[in-house]
Amino acid sequence: MELHEIHPRVDAAVRKLSKRGVTSDAINEALAAAFVDLFEVNGQAVRPSSPYGNYSDGIKLGFYTDRDPLLRSDRREYVVLTLLASEQAERNLGLHVFIALVNGITPAEVVHIMFLTGVYRGINVLTNGLRVVAKTFDAVIAAADAPPTATGDRSAITGEVIRKVLSAFPDPKYDEAKKHLEGDRGGDGGKGW
């Protein structure tokens, strides 16, 4: 499939996911829950007054929305995509490609950001970034084509899409720690993804 054929499919997938409730606000809710899991996996106590609790609450209240932003969401994602691509942080880059699409950055703009980053950081960064973008586009299209198993709760629906995107970029160390955490909780599956 040609690149020019993929962009409309990704755009259509994002619109379809938006109709299911996958929005910037839903991303905030899903990421806040996931950060609680991430902090706990790394042995950090997450209490309401702790720095970790404050960070998770801050995300839930609107880090990924346009409510009184310090930096407009699309501009923030341009920067974050560039940084993550230059660091070859595949899993985080995949997640932020999805967040960028939800926040109105077009698939073509995402690809151009990878090319621009690659011009300055090297061919390995360029090819890795484009590979991550392609895998993320595929995951977003697959998420939109699949019937949601979570219904009614936009945070759960969004978390489901995020899990699908992240599953394209396995992280065995995190997955093992997460499995241990879930066992300590009695198998509740964790609060986030």
- pLDDT reported for residue 189: 47
- Residues 84 and 117: their CA atoms lie apart, in Å, by 10
In the three-class reduction of DSSP (H, G, I as helix; E, B as strand; rest coil), residue 163 is classed as helix
Name the DSSP class of 17: H
- Residues 136 and 99: their CA atoms lie apart, in Å, by 11
Could you tell me if residue 191 is inside a domain? no
Could you tell me if residue 103 is inside a domain? yes
- pLDDT reported for residue 69: 58
Could you tell me if residue 190 is inside a domain? no
Q: What is the dihedral of CA 14, 84, 92, 96, to 10 degrees?
A: -20
- pLDDT reported for residue 187: 47
Could you tell me if residue 189 is inside a domain? no
Could you tell me if residue 61 is inside a domain? yes
Could you tell me if residue 68 is inside a domain? yes
Could you tell me if residue 113 is inside a domain? yes
Residue 186 CB coordination number (10 Å): 7
The half-sphere exposure of 25 on its side-chain side, counting CA atoms within 13 A, is 6
Total count of domains within the chain: 1
Number of helices (H) and strands (E), helices first, in the chain?
A: 9, 0
Could you tell me if residue 152 is inside a domain? yes
Per-residue pLDDT of the chain (193 residues; tens, 9 = 90+): 565 677 889 999 999 999 988 888 788 777 777 777 767 666 666 666 677 666 666 666 665 555 655 667 788 899 999 999 999 999 999 999 999 999 899 999 999 999 999 999 999 999 999 999 999 999 999 999 988 787 777 888 888 898 899 999 988 877 777 777 666 555 444 444 4
- pLDDT reported for residue 79: 93
Sequence-distant contacts of 68-71: CB under 8 A, at least 24 apart: none
Sequence-ordered alpha helix ranges (H) in 49-150:
51-62, 73-87, 90-102, 107-121, 123-145
Question: pTM for this one?
Answer: 0.78
Domain that holds residue 89: 3-184
Query: Amino acid letter at 95?
Result: L
Query: Amino acid letter at 48?
Result: P
- pLDDT reported for residue 26: 83
